[in-house]
Amino acid sequence: MKAKGPFKAGTREAALWAQIDPAHLPRHIAIIMDGNGRWARRRHQPRLAGHRAGVRATREVVETCARIGVPVLTLYAFSLDNWKRPPEEVGFLMRLLRQYVRRDLDYMKRNNVRLRAIGRWEELPEGVRQDVAHALEDTAANTGLQLVVALNYSARAELVDAVRRLVDEARTNGLPTVDEATVAARLYTSDLPDPDLLIRTSGEMRLSNFLLWQLAYTEIYVTETFWPDFDSACLLDAILDFQSRERRYGGLSAEDTRAAVEKPRPARRVPNLRDPRLLTRS
């Protein structure tokens, strides 16, 4: 008997899921959630309405990743640069974050989702920091989807923090051998696989200071869809596109590798018809 799929039969999600190889899902999906403000503007609504709609999309994507078995999902929720926005908008985003953490904590506990935070989130306002810390502690033992939320995050700040750790350790224990593994071990994501797939919504073609080290070999998928409209079907579309690609990591494709190892046939020698030795003697 065929196992029941994670989506209702006859839906677009079920049709997309039927084309996906569950054994080769991305181990780690990272998402730059963009377009809340433009989504609201097109509907003649305030930007804050776009952020509220974005929370609904976040909830759906998290639930879908947990349902299909994606191991790690990282969401770019609030960057260090976002402090440049109007104070009213920043305050609203902080309140939304607290509401999301409080309301969805129950879901995360029931569905074995572990919440994690990266960035300088300890510098957030006290109430936000306390809610996040409580959720991190309450889900720390969960073994399902790891939901990583980038809060007060900047990739350049992450690299600065990694260098600071190296300097502090050098003062105590001497300078260690500095190589890629040394730096990677001191990043916020040191115990996580690098993202296999980066999704950016709203059509923007930039990384916006997000996971710059970790995205070195990540497949990038950009969609014109604004984040509030990004749903389970959009996520499955991105995964399907990811599975159609061949990842080379700087090497050769399978076809090029075969061509490189095959011995070339010796060139056929064409006789020189002007060679007097080939002329018929009379």
Q: Is the dihedral of CA 45, 48, 51, 53 positive or negative?
A: negative
Distances (CA, A) of 130 to 114, 121, 123: 17, 10, 11
Which phi and psi (to 5°) does residue 127 adopt?
Answer: -60, -45
Sheet holding 146-153, edge to edge: 114-118, 146-153, 72-79, 28-32, 197-200, 219-222
- How far, rounded to the nearest angstrom, does the alpha carbon of residue 83 sit from its chain's CA centroid? 23
Catalytic residue numbers?
34, 82
Rounded Cα gap, residues 241 and 239, in angstroms: 5
